[in-house]
Amino acid sequence: MAVLLLLSACGAQNSSSRIGADGQPLPTVYKIRNSDTSRIQFRLVDSVNALRAASGAGPVQLNSQLNAAAETHSRDMARQNRPWHFGSDGSSPIDRVARAGYPGQMLGENISETFENELETLAAWMDQPGTRQVILDPKAVNIGFSWFQESNGKIWWTLLMGS
C-alpha cells in the first residue's frame, strides 16, 4: 500500500510539473520517426485536398520528385539555420525542382521553421494570404512535402506545388 501511495504521489507531482504558469499544459516535442514519413505526408495531402475542395480547386497528388526537392531544401535550411527560399548554393525553388527531375512547372513553395506538427504548420500557412494562395492554386496537380528535424525538435518544413 505504501508503495502504491508513493508511486501515485510521483505521478501527481510529474503531471503538475507539465502545467505552465498560465494553467495550460506545456508543449511537448513533436518527435518524428523515420517510420512516420508516409503517415505524415498522406495526412497533410488529405488535409490540403479537403481545403482545396472547399475552395473549388481540384485535388493534388504526392510527387516523388517534388518530395525530393522539398527534403533537400529542408535539410539545407537547417544547415543554414534560416528559413528562406534560396539554397546555400544560390539555387531558387525552380532550380531545385528542375534538379530533382520534375517535368512540370513549379507553382510555389511554402517553408517554415517551427516546433509545430504538420497540421499546425498547414493552419499557419492558411492564415497568410501568400502561402494560402500556394496551397489553393487551381493549376496545381502535384504536391511535394518534406522536412528535416533537428535533435532539439525544431522542424524545417517545405511544401512545393506543381502543375
Q: Give residue 11's pLDDT.
A: 42
Whole-angstrom CA distances from 37 to 15, 49, 67, 139 are 30, 18, 11, 26
Q: Give residue 2's pLDDT.
A: 40
pLDDT, mean of residues 145-159: 94
Helix (H, G, I), strand (E, B) or coil at 124: helix
pTM here?
A: 0.80
Q: Give residue 6's pLDDT.
A: 37
Q: Give residue 16's pLDDT.
A: 43
What is the C-alpha radius of gyration for the chain, rounded to an integer number of angstroms? Answer: 19
The answer to whether the CB of 73 falls within 8 A of the CB of 159 is: no
The per-residue pLDDT for range 94-148, each reduced to its tens digit, is 999 999 999 999 999 999 998 889 999 999 999 999 999 999 999 999 999 999 9
Grid-cell match 539554397, residue found? 87
The per-residue pLDDT for range 55-107, each reduced to its tens digit, is 999 999 999 999 999 999 999 999 999 898 999 899 999 999 999 999 999 99
